[in-house]
Each structure stands twice: as structure tokens, then as C-alpha cells.
Amino acid sequence: MSSHPPGPPFWQLPGLLRKLAVDRLAMMRDAADLSDAVRVNMGPKKMYIFNRPDYAKHVLADNAANYHKGIGLVESRKVLGDGLLTSEGDLWKAQRRNVQPAFKPGRIAAQAGVVAEEAGRLLEQLRKGAGSGGTTVDVLHEVTGLTLGVLGRTLMDMSMDGHDGIAHAFEAVQDQAMFDMVTQGLVPTWVPFATQRNFRRARTELTVTVDALVADRSARMSDDDPAADAFSRMITAARKETDPALGRKRLQDELVTLLLAGHETTASTLGWTLLLLARNPHVRDLVREEARAVLAGGRLPEADDLHKLSYTMQVVQEAMRLYPPVWILPRIAQQADEVGGFPVPAKADVLVCPYTLHRHPDFWDDSERFDPSRFEPSQVASRPRYAYIPFGAGPRFCIGSNLGMMEAVFVTALLTRDLDMDVVAGHEGVAEPMMSLRMRGGLPMTIRPVD
């Protein structure tokens, strides 16, 4: 075996740990500048950061069985329990197999109608609010409501109206997960820090909301109901559990997980896309031109329009390159392994960081530049597949990628076709790396109908 990857010398460790607490993206950028493989040695704890497509492929796909979910995600178990994002082994396999049919491409096509309706509803609301003189709106808040609404209808056949508090609750959950990560889980939840207080409140709110959703949906189905939406599949599986309390707990975990994993990631994609379009008017004009041609006469999109909105799709892909909503993929090695020729001991923390991988100078020219042409088919074919992993890779690949992409493309096309959206000065979009890549302070934009 070869030698350890380079790492910061021990006297730089306090500065590095400070960055882990206050500026995690800077820490990842520093590591990427140092080397494609970095080892941070914190005594008994070892952390490895891998930043090359073939290293990512090894950890996430080729030897995925050796890598369980790691820091950040482990901490979020306080709320996500054993849902699909955090479960492992046979339980994960059974859960994935159970809900997978609800995400088949055929069903996603049928869900296009829901996505288009919700997008159309948001467009109308923004257009009315803007009148002819324009208005200022936190667009991130609006698209977060939209993505929750879409999840409610597509995964559960339920309306999320009246459950707006759930988005705030999820923010508090993420704050707590990051707090636990930085404090290594050494501070019990009852200690009265603001983060922990908010978390306890959020956990109660989530439990109450989820209980209400479960009761409402369960009442509308019978055991032999062949309904194929994700939630009904989960309810049927929970009813087969011999221990009813365990069945109920699993169902809660799975539902909270799907709602969390599915709404903020898609909202974040939309937020960053709309921000980048506001900053790049020439690209916005091209999106508008395409949307006017494909969705002519002010109509809503249909499933078939997705592949026709190919430039808009490239814009969304480029936004996810620069601002991957899931900016870090944390893992823990189960057994000793070797990545790119470097030894990795059992129990080591292993990080693959889409945020830095998507900026690697060997694969991306002038990587900070926003350039949707990078996703033209010929350019995509010339790059290693694992240089771009906004939906992860291997067996834990995002189950909702098709739904998330369709939402992002349809909403971007519709809003850009009919509205001029400009960022309010002073809100240029500072990335805040929580469990997902949030926008600090939201996204206030002035909105005017296009002439």
C-alpha cells in the first residue's frame, strides 16, 4: 500500500476546526487546493476528503457497501430516524424496493400535470401580486411552498395547504444536525441553546403534522389498496410490521425523510437557478425565447415538453454544478479500504464534496463562470461521468431526481417566460452549507410582468 495522502500539519488543526464550525465551504476549498486526496488527522479520529471523479466512483458506487452514511446525516437521525436517507443494510434495501415503483419514469410522466398546475398557480400568484408596477417577494420562500405542495400531491395524494410550518421545522432540524456535527453530539438536546430549543419545538411540530397526515391518508385506503403513490406503499408496509409501534415509527421516519429530502433540495435548485438568471440577462433571454417557442400561447407545460426545454435543462444543470443542493456526501468506512491507492482505515470519516468536485480545474474550465453550454451533449460526453454528481451516485443515487429535475425545469421556464425577476440589491446570494446548500437571507426579488 502507498503512503497517506497529504494533510494539514497539526498546528493548523484549530483553524481548520473553526472553519468546520463557521465556514465549511472554505474548508472544503482549502482541502481541494491542497490535493485531490486529503487526510485530516485528529488523533483517534481520521477524516479523508476525496476530490476526483474516480475516487468518488470508488466510494459511492464501486465499493458503496463499505461506506455507510456519515457526519451530518448520522446526527440528523434524531429526526429522520431510519428513513430512506439514513437507513442501512437490509432495512434500506427493503425500503428502497418498496417505494421505488412510485418513482418509475412512467409515473413521473403522469406527475407532470401536478407539477405544471402548481407551477401555473405560483406564476398566477406572482403575476397578480406584481400588478403592472412590480412587487418584491422572497422567491425562495415561494418556491419552497411550491416544492412541498408538489410532494404532498405526487407522493401522498394530499394537499399541504395549512402545513406551511413544516418548512421552518426542517430548517431547525438542519441547524441542530450541524450543531451536533460541530459539537460532536456532546451537548444533550435539553441544554437550552437557541438551536436546541428551536429543534425541540420543530420536532414536536413535525410529529404532530406527520401524525395528522398519516391518519388522514390511512383513513382513505384499505390494506389491499393497490394505489401506487409512495405514501400508500409505505403505509401498507408499516401495517405488515408485527410490532405496530415500530411500524408507526418507521412510517413517520420515512415520511419525514421524503418530505425533507424532496422539498428543500428542489427549492434550493430553483433559487440558485433564478438568481443566476437574474445575474446573467443574456442567458435569461435565451431561456425566455425557448419557453415562448415551446410553451407558446401562455400554456402550461406537459410531460412531453421536458425534452424540448433542453436549454432550460442545461441552465438548471449548470446551476446545480455551481450550487449543488447536496454539497457534501459524508460516509464512514466500515472496513479498511484503499481509495486511489491511499489506505483508508476502518471507521474513518470519508467526504466526497460535489461543491469542489464540480469546480475541479482538470474537468471544468474557468470553473466559477456560469456557462450552461457545458451541458451540451458533446461537452457532457467529453467529461468523466463522476465529475458531476448533483444527485449522488451508486446505489444511494437520489430516488427523486426525475421529479426534482422536472419541477426545476418547468418552474424556471414558466416564470422566465412571463416575468422579469431581479435580485434586490444586497441579496447577492451567500451560500450557507447546511444539510443542503441554503441561501442566507432568502432570495428577495423584484417581480414585473414581461412587456
Q: Which residues of this protein are in contact with ligand HEM, per CB under 6 A?
A: 69, 84-85, 96, 151, 155, 257-258, 261-262, 265-266, 269, 325-326, 329, 390-392, 396, 398-400, 403-404, 408
Nearest to 291 by CA among 105, 107, 114, 116: 116
Residue closer to ligand HEM by CB (options 5, 400) is 400
> Closest residue (Cβ) to ligand HEM?
400
Distances (CA, A) of 440 to 138, 271, 434: 12, 11, 10
Q: How far is the CB of 317 from ligand HEM (least distance, A)?
A: 10
* Smallest separation, CB 319 to ligand HEM (Å): 10
Nearer to ligand HEM, 257 or 314 (CB): 257
Considering the complex, what minimum distance in angstroms separates the CB of residue 438 from ligand HEM?
13
Q: How far is the CB of 417 from ligand HEM (least distance, A)?
A: 21
CA of 31: how far to CAs of 7, 19, 28, 126, 337, in Å?
A: 8, 12, 5, 42, 21
DSSP 8-state secondary structure symbol assigned to residue 334: S
Of 38 and 261, which has the nearer Cβ to ligand HEM? 261
Q: What distance in Å separates the CA atoms of residue 260 and residue 254, rounded to the nearest whole number?
A: 10
Nearer Cβ to ligand HEM, position 59 or 130? 59
Q: Could you tell me the CA-to-CA distances from 275 to 104, 234, 374 in Å, in that order?
A: 31, 36, 19
CB of 92 to ligand HEM, least distance (A): 6
Three-class SS state of 293: helix
> 445 with 421: CB under 8 angstroms?
yes
- Please report how close the Cβ of residue 448 comes to ligand HEM at its closest, in angstroms: 27
CA atoms within 13 A on the CB side of 410: 33
Q: How far is CA 305 from CA 14, 255, 266, 301, 384, in A?
A: 52, 30, 19, 6, 28
- By C-beta, is 355 or 391 nearer to ligand HEM? 391
CA-CA distance, 294 to 300, in Å (whole number)? Answer: 10
Furthest CA-CA distance within the chain: 68
CB count, 10 Å around CB of 111?
Answer: 21
Place of cell 471507521: 347
In the bound state with ligand HEM, the residue whose beta carbon lies nearer, of 32 and 389, is 389
Q: Which is nearer to ligand HEM, 176 or 266 (by Cβ)? A: 266
Could you tell me where the beta strands, DSSP code E, fall in 244-315?
A: none
Give the closest residue to 390 by CA, choosing from 431, 358, 361. 358
Backbone angles phi, psi at 50, to 5 degrees: -110, 130
Q: How far is the CB of 387 from ligand HEM (least distance, A)?
A: 15
For the bound state, the minimum distance from the C-beta of residue 394 to ligand HEM, rounded and expressed in Å, comes to 8
The CA R_g of the chain, rounded to the nearest whole Å, is 22
Considering beta carbons, is residue 199 or 323 the nearer one to ligand HEM? Answer: 323
Minimum distance, C-beta of residue 187 to ligand HEM, in the bound complex (Å): 25
Q: Identify the CA nearest to 256 among candidates 214, 294, 210, 300.
A: 210
Nearer to ligand HEM, 32 or 352 (CB): 352
Residue with Cβ nearer ligand HEM (154 or 196): 154
Q: How far is the CB of 399 from ligand HEM (least distance, A)?
A: 5
Q: Which is nearer to ligand HEM, 32 or 256 (CB)?
A: 256
How far apart are CB 330 and ligand HEM at their closest, in Å? Answer: 7
Give the integer Cα–Cα distance in Å for 352 and 361.
Answer: 16
Chain length of the chain: 451
Distance (Å, rounded) from C-alpha 40 to C-alpha 12?
10
Ramachandran bin of 426, using left for φ above 0, alpha for ψ from -120 to 50, beta for the remaining angles: left
Contacts for 186 with CB less than 8 Å, ≥ 6 apart:
none
